[in-house]
Amino acid sequence: MNIHADFSERVVVDTTAMAWEPSPMAGVERRKLDRVNMTEDGEVARATSLVRYAPKSYFKPHTHGGGEEFFVLEGTFSDQHGDYPAGTYVRNPIGSRHKPHSEEGCVIFVKLHQFDEGDTEQFSVDTKAAQFLPGSSPGLTVLPLHSYEGESCALVRWAPETIFNPHRHFGGEEIFVLEGVFSDENGDYPAGTWLRSPHMSLHHPFSKEGCLIYVKTGHLPIEAA
């Protein structure tokens, strides 16, 4: 079953209100945010999800046919390359392989099959130890995570009472609210909200109480708009 597969539509999801669904592996559950299935059983898909690992659970070894990008929200995620505590951003390009597990349990925000074939760098960023840079507007600080061919990903921290200029999203914009409350003229989005805005959509964002958001831009289909 495809989920939010029309990329010309704006989507807002309160992930905290969603039920966890079992995965094929015991102890691993999912909240499916968007999904375009690539196989009949739906287990290979262009997908954006929250994934929860119970303590001492694992997922079978697998190769990333379309790449994998994830951000650790809670706990510690592990594989043969190392341990990734909350606040870690990880990119595993097309063709990479790992065997994930979690000793203490964890929750990750993960995107699958969304890599360009030329985007081959494999790395991780401990965002809690990294330095944020001044943003393009007063009250904003930014931690760039990755960019490639017009696509970019960053954490953006908003000080209380920060207002940003109205702007359009060339190639779309995707936001996951990590802390606080993010807002625009369409509503208020507390921590745990996922938003996806299509190519050339327009909004006027602000934050009254301050917030921290994961932002990805330039990666949604232009032809869908």
* pLDDT at residue 113 in the model: 95
* pLDDT at residue 42 in the model: 60
Query: In sequence order, what are the beta bridge partners of 140?
Result: 158
pLDDT for 225 beyond 60: no
* pLDDT at residue 39 in the model: 79
Superfamily designation of domain 133-217: Jelly Rolls (2.60.120.10)
Span 81-111, pLDDT tens digits: 899 999 999 999 999 999 999 999 999 999 9
pLDDT classification of 186: cutoffs 50, 70, 90: very high
* pLDDT at residue 120 in the model: 96
Rg (CA), the chain: 17
Query: In sequence order, what are the beta bridge partners of 84?
Result: 77
Element of type H or E holding 108 = strand 106-112
Q: Kindly report, as residue ranges, where domains of CATH 2.60.120.10 are found in the chain.
A: 18-126, 133-217
pTM over 0.85: yes
Span 109-155, pLDDT tens digits: 999 999 999 999 999 999 999 999 999 999 999 999 999 999 999 99
DSSP letters for 147-197: EETTEEEEEEEE-TTEE---EEETT-EEEEEEEEEEEETTEEEETTEEEEE
* pLDDT at residue 43 in the model: 72
Question: What is the rounded average pLDDT of the residues 160-189?
Answer: 97
pLDDT classification of 59: cutoffs 50, 70, 90: confident
Question: How far apart (Å, rounded) are the C-alpha atoms in residues 158 and 138?
Answer: 9
Q: Which residue has the higher pLDDT, 222 or 72?
A: 72
Span 3-48, pLDDT tens digits: 999 999 999 999 999 999 999 889 999 999 999 987 777 678 899 9
Residue 73, both tokens: 């929200």
Instruction: Please give the C-alpha separations between residue 190 and each of 97, 106, 110, 136, 205, in angstroms, as whole numbers.
Output: 34, 21, 19, 23, 13
Amino acid at the residue 209: E
* pLDDT at residue 224 in the model: 58
* pLDDT at residue 69 in the model: 97
* pLDDT at residue 1 in the model: 86
Contact (CB, 8 A) for 110 and 64: no
Residue closest to 38 by CA, chosen among 131, 89, 113: 113
CATH number of 18-126: 2.60.120.10
pLDDT for 57 beyond 90: yes
